[in-house]
Structures are given as structure tokens and as C-alpha cells.
């Protein structure tokens, strides 16, 4: 006796449904975590370990230095720096990729047109008889056609929408990278500017000591001619003068290199032409540091890392959904005829609707491997975010700790430099009177030089550390909070509006 199996009772159907349900749950279970909670044991405390001033982190830190020259240089760098323009171009590319991913969610509509001519080598007779004669087919036969075609994949498992969201999050990460590049560039220009001031003051100090060494050499020669000292003093003074001149040449080269480095940052040719006149010993007040957890939202580099985590989770969900059936709807309308008038004849029109189901059955583990890759990238993005957050906390703690240390060192070195300067003046007078040796006098001069040089270095380091502190805390160099998607520099914007222009084209933006 033959038994008929009802299709709804087929033992294969529950298994297939179980597989589809399992894959669907796997596609939907990956949810981006709360980023602060994802740090686990590394969750930031409510306050800084280093001494910090209470209050919200201020913006517009560039104005706190009250230096119009520095402000103008930062603005010039933002408009002309080629690295920043390249970052802006990468942002434009990321936004275009995001629009491409979103476009896949919508139906595609295409227009078609055709024109064919068939030529017969010998006109065959037509299989009909008209008025007792069999007519022949024309030697040439023309066929015209036109139509519309549409195709749309039903995003039933959100494979396409998750891919589009991932692309959007990646674009947001790139925008945050660009925002951080702007902040970093402003900080680099400020620090390079302060290094120029340090090198300038070191050069002025070395030139002052060349002058002092020249005076000491003259004093030693006069006393030698008077018979008060031996020739040893003259040779010692001469050697000290040569050493001071060598140090002057060294500091001159360091100053020129610092100026050229700054000129490159602002997009100029390194011509050693900048001549800043600001005072290095600038009074700066303490900076409110806010709370550690706030930098997770203030710093654009951490925002970029967080957006990449979200993108990785979306890509994992899209890769999981790729293992599920894909349903595509198609529609087509067309017409054809031998002449243009036939194209508008309803009897020659054709409409077609259809659907298709695509289910991967065997791909040697390709889709599973892609899902495992996306899952691994998801975990990697989490660890990258954790690393970036810990590095940000470290930078802020180091900068806050250095604030008080550098202020204390600056005060101590200022006192030491003043004391050594007075001691050197006394030693010079005593040597002229014959009450001390030339060696003691020159040692006092060298100690004064070292103290004054250290004071200049620490003064510059304190200013650069202040810039590092603002950058670490997520403070904006301009008024207001850091924008999530800043405007591109003029050069990048002009290139985006005229993408076909080449560098040699007169229409291309000049550098």
C-alpha cells in the first residue's frame, strides 16, 4: 500500500524552519554595547588622579594664549595644510560610500532602447498568397524597441540596511577623524610655534654669552699684558670664546630648523622667513579638567573609535543575514515594432512581473567564514576602542601631572637664573680686581648659561604641555564644542566642487 505524504507534514520542513529561525536570531543578537560600560575594570573614576581644577573643560583654548600671530598661523594651517586637505578628501569618499550603501535599499529603474536591422541575402517568399501571388519578404527588416526595467531586493533580514548603517557609522568615524585632525593640526602648529620661540630665545642667549665671552677674553688679555696673570688665562678665555661661538652656530641652526618645520605645517615653502616676536614667558592660568568619563564624548578620536565599533556590529549582523534567503522582485514593461508609430500601439506592448528566491546551499564555507571574520573584527574594534580610551586617560593624567611640576620647576629655575646672574656679575668684578681666578669666573658664567637655558626650555615645555592638556581633555581650539563634521578646508572644498580638474588645468585650484 502506497502512503501519500502531505507536504506540510514533511520531516524536512521543521528542520529547514529551525535553521532559518536560528540564522535570523544570530543576525539580530549582536547589539553594539554601551562604550563606557565596555571598558569593564578600566571604567574611569569620577575624578582625576592628578591634581586638577574643578569645572567643565573650556573651549577656544587658542585665545587663552592671547597671541594674534599664533591665531593667524593656525588659521593659515587649517586652510593650506595638505595633510588636512587629504583627510577632508577621505571624508568626502566615506560619505559617498555611505550614500552608495543606502542606495541599495531602493528599487533600481532602468530605461532600455534598441534598434535592429535584419538584412537577407536573398528575399525569401512569405508563406502567404495575396491576389494569387506569393510576395517576397523585404531585403531589410527594421525593428525598434524600448522599455523600462525595475529590480528590488526585499530586505527581509535587514542585510542591506545593516550594511548601510555600518557604512554610515564608518562615515561618521571618518568625520570624527577629520575633526581630530583639525584639532591635532592646531595643536601641532601651537607647539611648533612655541618651539620657535624657545629656539629664538636660546639663540639670543647664546649670542649674549658670545658677547660675555668676548669681554672676558679682552679682560684676560689686558691683565696678561699688565703682568697680573699668566698666558694660561688668555688661552682659557680664547677657548671659552670659541666654544661660545660654536654654541651660537648650533642654536642658530636649531632656530632655522624650528622655523622651517612651522612653515611646513602652515603650508608654506620652508624659507626660514617667519620672525615671531611674542614673549615666551607667558602667564597661564589653571585649566578646569572636568571628569575623566567626559573625554569619551569630547575627544573626536574616541568618538571615531566608538563609531567603528558600531559599524563592526552592523557588519556582523549583515554577514549573518547573508546566509538567509534573498528575495528579489522584478518588473518590466516594453514595446516593439517596425516603426516609431508601432511603439505606441497597445497591441505591441508587453508587461512582466516576477520574483526570485536565492538561497545559498553550498559555497565551501565562504559565507560562514565571512561571518566569522566580521565577528572577529567586531571583537577587535572593541579592544581598539579600549586601547584608545586608556591611552586618552593616560595622556590627560600625564598632562595634568606635568602642569604643577613644570610650574614649580619654572619658578625654581627663574630664581636660580637670577641668582647665578648676580653671582656671575660679582665673579667678573672680582676677577678684574684680581681677587679670584679666571676659571672660577668662567665656571660661574657657564652655570648662569645653563640655568638661563633650562629656564627657557622649561618655559616652552610648559606651554606645549598646556596645548597637550587641552588636546587630551577634548577642548576645542575655536569657540564652542568640537563640531561632529567640520567644514573642509577651502582647497579641498574647491576640489570637491570641480573633481574633473587636474593640477595642470587652469580651472584646477591653485596651491
Model confidence over 82-116: pLDDT tens digits? 999 999 999 999 999 999 999 999 999 999 888 88
Q: What pLDDT is recorded for position 121?
A: 61
Question: Does pTM top 0.85 for this prediction?
Answer: no
510 pLDDT higher than 90: no
Model confidence over 199-236: pLDDT tens digits? 999 999 999 989 988 888 888 888 888 888 788 888 88
Contact status, residue 451 vs residue 420, Cβ threshold 8 Å: yes
Contact status, residue 167 vs residue 101, Cβ threshold 8 Å: yes
345 pLDDT higher than 60: yes
Q: What pLDDT is recorded for position 37?
A: 58
Query: Distance from CA of residue 335 to its chain's centroid?
Result: 53
Q: What pLDDT is recorded for position 237?
A: 85
Q: What pLDDT is recorded for position 286?
A: 87
Q: What pLDDT is recorded for position 280?
A: 84
Least confident span in 42-51, 239-248, 462-471: 42-51
pLDDT band at 36 (very low <50, low <70, confident <90, very high): low
499 pLDDT higher than 50: no
Give the single-character DSSP code of 358. Answer: E
pLDDT band at 137 (very low <50, low <70, confident <90, very high): low
Q: What pLDDT is recorded for position 408?
A: 93
Model confidence over 285-336: pLDDT tens digits? 888 988 999 999 999 999 999 999 999 999 999 999 999 999 999 999 888 8
Closest CA to 49 of 268, 235, 292: 292
pLDDT band at 507 (very low <50, low <70, confident <90, very high): very low
Instruction: For residues 263-284, give the mean pLDDT.
Output: 88
Model confidence over 386-433: pLDDT tens digits? 999 999 999 999 999 999 999 999 999 999 999 999 998 898 888 888
Higher per-residue pLDDT: 253 or 499:
253
Least confident span in 8-17, 164-173, 209-218: 8-17
Cα gap 141→116, rounded to integer Å: 8
Instruction: For residues 181-198, give the mean pLDDT.
Output: 96
Residue showing cell 566615506: 94
10 pLDDT higher than 60: no
124 pLDDT higher than 80: no
Instruction: For residues 69-74, give the mean pLDDT.
Output: 94
Cα gap 300→224, rounded to integer Å: 68
Q: What pLDDT is recorded for position 442?
A: 85
Give the single-character DSSP code of 3. Answer: P
Contact status, residue 62 vs residue 70, Cβ threshold 8 Å: yes
φ/ψ region of 270 (left if φ > 0, alpha if ψ in -120 to 50, else beta) reads beta
Cα gap 476→58, rounded to integer Å: 8
Contact status, residue 165 vs residue 314, Cβ threshold 8 Å: yes
Q: What pLDDT is recorded for position 128?
A: 60
Q: What pLDDT is recorded for position 466?
A: 95
Query: Distance from CA of residue 188 to its chain's centroid?
Result: 14
Q: What pLDDT is recorded for position 159?
A: 92
Model confidence over 487-498: pLDDT tens digits? 766 655 554 455
22 pLDDT higher than 80: no
Higher per-residue pLDDT: 509 or 246:
246
13 pLDDT higher than 50: no
* Grid cell for residue 318: 549583515
For 328, phi then psi, to 5°, come to -125, 130
φ/ψ region of 232 (left if φ > 0, alpha if ψ in -120 to 50, else beta) reads alpha
Higher per-residue pLDDT: 1 or 137:
137
Q: What residue ranges define each of the domains in the chain, with the CATH number in brackets?
A: 35-105+160-324+387-493 (1.20.1600.10)
Least confident span in 167-181, 251-265, 425-439: 425-439
Instruction: For residues 232-249, give the mean pLDDT.
Output: 89
Instruction: For residues 260-266, give the mean pLDDT.
Output: 94
Instruction: For residues 34-53, give the mean pLDDT.
Output: 73
Higher per-residue pLDDT: 466 or 224:
466
Radius of gyration of the chain (CA): 39
130 pLDDT higher than 70: no
132 pLDDT higher than 80: no
Longest dimension (CA), the chain: 149
Cα gap 448→85, rounded to integer Å: 46
Above pLDDT 70, what percent of the chain?
83
Q: What pLDDT is recorded for position 134?
A: 56
Amino acid at each position: 500500500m502506497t502512503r501519500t505524504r502531505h507536504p506540510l507534514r514533511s520531516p524536512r520542513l521543521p528542520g529547514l524552519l529551525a535553521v532559518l529561525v536560528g540564522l535570523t536570531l544570530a543576525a539580530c543578537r549582536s547589539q553594539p554595547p554601551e562604550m563606557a560600560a565596555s571598558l569593564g575594570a578600566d571604567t574611569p573614576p569620577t575624578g582625576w588622579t592628578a591634581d586638577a581644577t574643578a569645572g567643565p573643560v573650556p573651549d577656544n583654548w587658542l585665545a587663552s594664549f592671547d597671541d594674534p600671530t599664533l591665531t593667524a598661523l593656525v588659521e593659515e594651517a587649517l586652510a593650506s595644510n595638505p595633510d588636512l586637505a587629504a583627510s577632508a578628501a577621505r571624508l568626502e569618499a566615506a560619505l559617498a560610500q555611505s550614500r552608495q550603501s543606502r542606495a541599495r535599499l531602493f528599487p533600481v529603474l532602468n530605461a532600455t532602447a534598441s534598434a535592429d536591422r535584419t538584412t537577407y541575402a536573398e528575399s525569401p517568399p512569405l508563406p502567404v498568397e495575396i491576389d494569387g501571388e506569393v510576395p517576397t519578404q523585404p531585403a531589410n527588416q527594421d525593428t525598434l524597441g524600448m522599455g523600462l526595467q525595475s529590480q528590488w531586493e526585499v530586505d527581509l533580514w535587514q542585510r542591506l540596511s545593516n550594511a548601510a548603517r555600518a557604512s554610515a557609522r564608518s562615515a561618521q568615524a571618518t568625520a570624527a577623524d577629520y575633526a581630530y585632525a583639525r584639532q591635532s593640526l592646531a595643536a601641532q602648529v601651537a607647539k611648533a610655534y612655541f618651539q620657535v620661540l624657545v629656539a629664538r630665545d636660546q639663540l639670543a642667549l647664546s649670542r649674549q654669552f658670545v658677547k660675555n665671552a668676548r669681554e672676558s677674553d679682552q679682560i684676560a688679555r689686558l691683565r696678561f699684558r699688565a703682568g697680573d696673570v699668566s698666558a694660561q688665562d688668555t688661552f682659557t678665555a680664547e677657548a671659552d670664546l670659541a666654544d661660545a661661538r660654536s654654541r651660537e652656530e648650533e642654536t642658530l641652526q636649531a632656530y632655522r630648523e624650528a622655523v622651517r618645520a612651522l612653515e611646513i605645517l602652515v603650508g608654506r615653502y620652508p624659507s626660514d622667513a617667519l620672525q615671531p616676536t611674542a614673549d615666551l614667558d607667558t602667564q597661564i592660568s589653571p585649566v578646569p579638567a572636568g571628569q575623566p568619563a567626559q573625554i569619551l564624548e569630547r575627544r573626536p578620536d574616541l568618538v571615531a573609535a566608538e563609531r567603528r565599533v558600531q559599524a563592526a556590529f552592523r557588519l556582523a549582523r549583515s554577514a549573518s543575514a547573508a546566509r538567509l534567503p534573498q528575495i528579489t522582485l522584478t518588473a518590466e514593461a516594453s514595446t516593439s515594432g517596425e516603426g516609431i508609430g508601432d511603439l505606441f500601439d497597445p497591441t505591441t506592448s508587453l508587461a512582466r512581473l516576477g520574483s526570485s528566491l536565492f538561497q545559498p546551499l553550498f559555497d565551501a564555507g565562504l559565507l560562514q567564514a565571512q561571518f566569522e571574520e566580521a565577528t572577529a573584527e567586531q571583537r577587535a574594534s572593541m579592544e581598539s576602542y579600549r586601547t584608545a580610551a586608556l591611552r586618552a586617560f593616560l595622556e590627560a593624567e600625564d598632562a595634568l601631572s606635568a602642569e604643577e611640576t613644570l610650574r614649580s620647576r619654572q619658578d625654581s629655575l627663574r630664581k636660580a637664573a637670577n641668582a647665578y646672574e648676580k653671582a656671575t656679575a660679582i665673579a667678573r668684578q672680582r676677577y678684574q680686581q684680581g681677587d679670584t681666578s679666571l676659571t672660577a669666573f668662567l665656571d660661574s658664567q657657564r652655570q648662569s648659561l645653563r640655568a638661563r637655558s633650562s629656564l627657557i626650555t622649561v618655559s616652552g615645555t610648559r606651554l606645549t604641555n598646556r596645548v597637550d592638556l587641552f588636546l587630551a581633555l577634548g577642548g576645542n581650539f575655536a569657540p564652542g564644542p568640537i563640531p561632529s563634521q567640520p567644514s573642509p578646508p577651502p582647497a579641498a572644498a574647491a576640489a570637491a566642487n570641480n573633481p574633473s580638474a587636474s593640477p595642470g588645468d587652469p580651472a584646477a585650484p591653485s596651491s
